[in-house]
Amino acid sequence: MTANDDRELMLQAGQGAGGGAREAFDTLVTRWQGRLLTFFVRQCGDRELAEDCTQEVFVRLYKARDRYTPDAQFSTFLFTIARHYWIDVARSRAVRPDLQRGLGSDDQDDREDRLSRVAAADPAPPAQVVQSDDLERMHAALARLPEPLRDVVRLGVIEALPYAEVSAILAIPIGTVKSRVHAAVQMLRHLMSDVHATGTPLRRHEGGRT
Amino acid sequence: MSGCDELRGLLIDHVLGQSVGEEAARIAGHLAACEACRGEEAALRSTVGLLRSGPLALPTPEFRKSLAQRLDAVERRERHVARRRGRTAAEAGLTLFRLRLLRSPAARIKVAAALLPFVLGGGWWLVHSTRPAERDDDKLIHVGPPKDRNAPPLVDGSGGRGVPDRLQPPPAPPSGDPGEASSKSIVDQLVNGDSSPLDGLPVPAPIEEPKLAEGGSSSANDVFRQRHDLELPRKGGGVAPPPVAPVLPATPVTRALDWLVRTQRPDGSWAPGDGEPGLDTGTTALALLAFVSENCLGVGDVAADPRERAAAAATRWLFERQSPSDGAFVGGSDAAAHVFCHAVSTLALLDRHLRLTAAGRGATADLVGEHDRIERALARLEVDLERLVRPSANDPALARCAGQNAAWAALTLATARHCGDAFHLKPTGTRLTEDVLARLRNEQPELIVATTHAVDAMASRASTPSDEAWRRAVEKVLGDPAGIEPSLRFLVASALAATRRGRVDGGFADFERRLEKGLGSIQSPQAGFFDSGRRWDCFGGGTVYETALGVLSLSVAARADDFALMRQRLGKFGGGHTRPK
């Protein structure tokens, strides 16, 4: 339930193989699999690839379990591995590490396909469905941020990690995290209004006329 | 204005919960006085909320299986490397032995004698450390049914085609101890005998006021009841007496609850089984009901007690899932799954609410708010119940698992109707429930007859006469308590518990022993979860589903006692205390 519990579970998992160690690790997987998978789905928009990445991160975490020390938060340890792995994947596949390649393009079908795949990850309650237009705009705006700002938004805002953890994961000073979060949110709000004015609704209107 | 400029730079930290201490206080003070900054803060919250919104992705059922296989491979590789390291060290030692020590025969004998115990000990360690991990029997995710170490070798009855484990017919029911009463005699006692729930007293024996037990009881159920009695909140001021921390041994129920605590997701929910993805709401509701049955209501010492914390988080999560428009708890992938999720969610929150109200806490602001939300959920449940027997052309999926859905809905409505007068329900609801159960009786006769008996017991009505379906239901549960569908087991056990003759009913005691023994065979000795390894026609099941219903099945007697006690208390002051004027 708490960060301390996660640390204890990870330490327990680091004490060997099988038995209680594996049990502890399975509990950690159960707790974090949804969040990690969502993290990767948001990165790449490809559900299958996201699941592969999530699995690989857990395998790497398990291999590294005896190197975990309790002075680091478990989430810091996990997201550091996840982020490094995603950088490797993005480089090797030569894809932009974000969901919004389709969203930012004019390819409406591709965009809808990606969104439907993200939405298919879990049936959403109706209240969330109502927000899908705003979500689209937000994803489009997020895609237009520079990579360093996008990183702090993903970790500090979306994943709600404390600044100190974001600082440790990205290896930048806390002051830089704060200034980037501030700049990113301001830029997102500008971009949102821009997308709102010229984005999806206009395209839909045009589609209706043709 | 300059103050605004300075503080606006800090507002995003405040919204993200990153500002602390003096800075947080300064921002809060400024916001209280400045309307413009409050507007800016609201806009920032909206942006952050939008960024964080969107569905939480859930892995496919294959994800955990494949991950488990990969982790097994990692462990095998680690063992292999460890063995190679061990061999290399041993070889290096032998070389040293040859080069330096064995220059004279006398020295060889002395050194060999000195090293013999170490060599033997090392060999024993090597053999034991390289055995496959015993944990293979005990994984969170079961690919097949649990292995029975005493089971005879598998006989392939398919003419050599190799039937996988999960397709084998269910194992024969346990034969039981020689001294134990036979299934038939217990069924006779329960269904037809002297202590028959049908011919006996329909009203449960009066329950004494809770007392602190002195301890010394060895029965698992007595231990559960001690926990109940100790923790059931007291009427009168709503302030419980100072808790006396009992030193209770771990029981099957507490171990299962602790497993649920460990596997709860950070947001307060539990992951559903692989048979019915997306059923988070129903799974979480059943898990919460298991905690509530043990009087972990999420209002105790949340900081110190992980079970209280789990119940509080699950309650919060469920209420967040309630639709503000029609009061429905949404979940699952079709209309049938929605009804199931809605019925069990309403039952879990209703049960918790009734217990708190019986403890005199109904007048608090939170409980009044919850009361209205539960009442709307109950009204919606009545509509759902009616739709089950008259599915429209738009909802063909409602016919799926209609019997099971009707059973949970009927149990929930009966709990609301017959435990005080806290909730306002349609006067025609009783007749509706009877009609629905009668119409669905042919689909799942044992389940429906068990539900009818449970509902009648709650209403203090003499139940319908004993019939073949009821006998079959009891026989099924007694014959294979571990292999039967968990909802049916729970409903049969609930009906028997509610109609037993007080706390010393011989037939029921035998039934409980069988139940405990059967469930013990599918409980993980280390982790504490229940898992028969089977999947069910309705909503698939899963480890959390089976664990929650395992706890509920073992707690039926305590639940029945609590229910009688609550009814006594709520009958006196009931809804007047919970309903805002």
Q: Quick check: helix, strand or coil at residue B153?
A: coil
Residue B330 to residue A126, Cβ atoms within 8 A: yes
Q: Which amino acid type is present at position B135?
A: R
- Burial class from Cβ neighbours inside 10 Å (0-12, 13-18, 19+) for residue B443 reads middle
Of B48, B54, B310, the CB nearest to A157: B48
For residue A34, the chain B residue with the least C-alpha distance is B58
Q: Are residues A82 and A34 located together in one domain of the fold?
A: yes
Q: Which amino acid type is present at position B88?
A: T
What is the distance between the alpha carbons of residues B129 and A30, in angstroms, rounded to a whole number? 28
Does position A115 have pLDDT exceeding 60, yes or no? Answer: no
Of B43, B56, B140, the CB nearest to A34: B56
Q: Are residues B318 and B224 located together in one domain of the fold?
A: yes
Q: Where residue B276 falls among pLDDT bands split at 50, 70, 90?
A: low
CATH code where residue A196 lies: 1.10.10.10
A25 contacts in B (CB within 8 Å)? 71
Contact of A159 with A104, CB cutoff 8 Å: no
What is the distance between the alpha carbons of residues B562 and B497, in angstroms, rounded to a whole number? 12
Does the complex come out with an ipTM higher than 0.85? no
Q: Are residues B337 and B401 located together in one domain of the fold?
A: yes
- Burial class from Cβ neighbours inside 10 Å (0-12, 13-18, 19+) for residue B5 reads exposed
Residue with tokens 């009881």: B217
- For residue A138, what pLDDT is reported? 81
Of B53, B70, B262, the CB nearest to A135: B53
**Domain-embedded: residue B76:** yes
pLDDT tens digit sequence for A2-51: 555 888 888 888 887 667 888 889 889 988 998 899 888 888 878 888 89
Tokens standing for residue B45: 């919250």
For residue A120, the chain B residue with the least C-alpha distance is B57
Q: Are residues B498 and B556 located together in one domain of the fold?
A: yes
Contact of B566 with B235, CB cutoff 8 Å: no
Does position B255 have pLDDT exceeding 60, yes or no? Answer: yes
The region that residue B278 occupies, defined by phi over 0 for left and psi between -120 and 50 for alpha, beta otherwise, is left
Q: Are residues B85 and B219 located together in one domain of the fold?
A: no
Sequence-separated (6 or more) residues with CB below 8 Å from residue A15? A21
**Domain-embedded: residue B140:** no
Residue A188 to residue B43, Cβ atoms within 8 A: no
Picking from B314, B325, B327, B326, the residue whose alpha carbon sits closest to that of residue B281 is B314
The pLDDT of A162-167, averaged and rounded, is 88
**Domain-embedded: residue A27:** yes
**Domain-embedded: residue B553:** yes
**Domain-embedded: residue A188:** yes
Q: Crossing angle, helix A3-13 and helix A19-44, to 10 degrees?
A: 120
Q: Are residues A83 and A136 located together in one domain of the fold?
A: no
Q: Are residues B452 and B499 located together in one domain of the fold?
A: yes
**Domain-embedded: residue B327:** yes
- For residue B363, what pLDDT is reported? 58
The pLDDT of B209-235, averaged and rounded, is 37
Of A1, A25, A27, the CB nearest to B309: A1
Tokens standing for residue B538: 């309705």
**Domain-embedded: residue B568:** yes
The pLDDT of B189-213, averaged and rounded, is 41
A50 contacts in B (CB within 8 Å)? 57
Residue B70 to residue A55, Cβ atoms within 8 A: yes
Picking from A6, A148, A12, the residue whose alpha carbon sits closest to that of residue A77 is A6
Q: Where residue B264 falls among pLDDT bands split at 50, 70, 90?
A: very high
Q: Are residues B224 and B127 located together in one domain of the fold?
A: no
Q: Give the distance from residue A172's alpha carbon to the nearest chain B alpha carbon, in angstroms.
A: 17
Residue A59: which domain range?
Answer: 1-97
**Domain-embedded: residue A184:** yes
Determine contact: B263 vs chain A, CB below 8 A: yes
Q: Where residue B393 falls among pLDDT bands split at 50, 70, 90?
A: low
Backbone phi and psi for residue A141, each to the nearest 5 degrees, phi listed first? -65, -40
For residue B338, the chain A residue with the least C-alpha distance is A125
Does position A120 have pLDDT exceeding 90, yes or no? Answer: no
pLDDT tens digit sequence for B2-35: 578 778 888 888 888 888 788 888 888 888 888 8
Of B70, B135, B527, the CB nearest to A59: B70
Residue with tokens 């209107």: A205
Does position B311 have pLDDT exceeding 90, yes or no? Answer: yes
Backbone phi and psi for residue B536, each to the nearest 5 degrees, phi listed first? -110, 155
Q: Are residues B45 and B66 located together in one domain of the fold?
A: no
- For residue B193, what pLDDT is reported? 47
Exposure class string for A43-81: b at 16+ Cβ within 10 A, else e: bbbbbebbbbbbbbbbebbbeebeebeeeebbbbbbbbb
The pLDDT of B84-112, averaged and rounded, is 53
Q: Where residue B159 falls among pLDDT bands split at 50, 70, 90?
A: very low
Determine contact: B9 vs chain A, CB below 8 A: yes
Residue A35 to residue B310, Cβ atoms within 8 A: no
- For residue A94, what pLDDT is reported? 54
Picking from A8, A38, A39, A37, the residue whose alpha carbon sits closest to that of residue A25 is A8
Backbone phi and psi for residue B540, each to the nearest 5 degrees, phi listed first? 70, -40
- For residue B290, what pLDDT is reported? 94
**Domain-embedded: residue B37:** yes
Q: Are residues B91 and B25 located together in one domain of the fold?
A: no
Q: Give the distance from residue B174's alpha carbon to the nearest chain A alpha carbon, in angstroms.
A: 28
What is the distance between the alpha carbons of residues B402 and B388, in angstroms, rounded to a whole number? 6
Euclidean distance between the first and the last CA atom of chain A, given in angstroms as a whole number: 54
Q: Are residues B45 and B68 located together in one domain of the fold?
A: no
Q: How far is CA A150 from CA B435, B538, B569, B579, in A?
A: 58, 44, 57, 50
For residue B44, the chain A residue with the least C-alpha distance is A185
Q: How far is CA A27 from CA A24, B448, B531, in A?
A: 5, 37, 16
The pLDDT of B252-270, averaged and rounded, is 90
B291: part of which helix (H) or strand (E)? helix B280-293
B57 contacts in A (CB within 8 Å)? 34, 37-38, 41, 47, 50, 118, 121-122
* Interface with B, mutate which of A5, A8, A15, A29 (most B CBs under 10 A): A29
- For residue A96, what pLDDT is reported? 43
- For residue B466, what pLDDT is reported? 58
Does position B338 have pLDDT exceeding 70, yes or no? Answer: yes
Query: Of chain B residues 265-324, which have a CB less than 8 A from chain A?
Result: 265-266, 271, 278, 306, 309-310, 313, 321, 323-324
The region that residue B159 occupies, defined by phi over 0 for left and psi between -120 and 50 for alpha, beta otherwise, is left
Domain count, chain B: 3
**Domain-embedded: residue B165:** no
Tokens standing for residue B488: 């049916």
- For residue B498, what pLDDT is reported? 80
Residue B112: which domain range?
Answer: 61-132
**Domain-embedded: residue B47:** yes
pLDDT tens digit sequence for B47-61: 888 888 776 778 888
- For residue B337, what pLDDT is reported? 84
For residue B133, the chain A residue with the least C-alpha distance is A18
- For residue B192, what pLDDT is reported? 58
Q: Are residues A210 and A142 located together in one domain of the fold?
A: yes
CATH code where residue B477 lies: 1.50.10
- For residue A122, what pLDDT is reported? 40
Q: Are residues B82 and B45 located together in one domain of the fold?
A: no
- For residue B284, what pLDDT is reported? 93
Strand partners of residue B329: B322
**Domain-embedded: residue A57:** yes
Q: Are residues A93 and A4 located together in one domain of the fold?
A: yes
The region that residue B540 occupies, defined by phi over 0 for left and psi between -120 and 50 for alpha, beta otherwise, is left
Q: Are residues B226 and B347 located together in one domain of the fold?
A: yes
Determine contact: B54 vs chain A, CB below 8 A: yes
The pLDDT of B257-283, averaged and rounded, is 84
Q: Where residue B111 falls among pLDDT bands split at 50, 70, 90?
A: low
pLDDT tens digit sequence for B525-551: 888 889 887 777 777 678 888 899 999
Determine contact: B50 vs chain A, CB below 8 A: yes
B59 contacts in A (CB within 8 Å)? 33-34, 37, 51, 54
Q: Are residues A161 and A208 located together in one domain of the fold?
A: yes
If one compares B510 and B182, the residue with the highest pLDDT of the two is B510
B133 contacts in A (CB within 8 Å)? 17-19, 22
Domain count, chain A: 2
Percent of chain B with pLDDT over 90: 9
Mean pLDDT, all residues of chain B: 71
- For residue B156, what pLDDT is reported? 32
B326 contacts in A (CB within 8 Å)? none
Does position B417 have pLDDT exceeding 60, yes or no? Answer: yes
Q: How many CA atoms lie within 13 A of B464 on its CB side?
A: 16
Q: Looking at B84-93, B201-210, B251-260, B271-280, which range is the least confident one?
A: B201-210
Does position A1 have pLDDT exceeding 60, yes or no? Answer: no
Q: Are residues B346 and B420 located together in one domain of the fold?
A: yes
Residue B63 to residue A51, Cβ atoms within 8 A: yes
Does position B295 have pLDDT exceeding 50, yes or no? Answer: yes
Cβ count near B381 (within 10 Å): 28
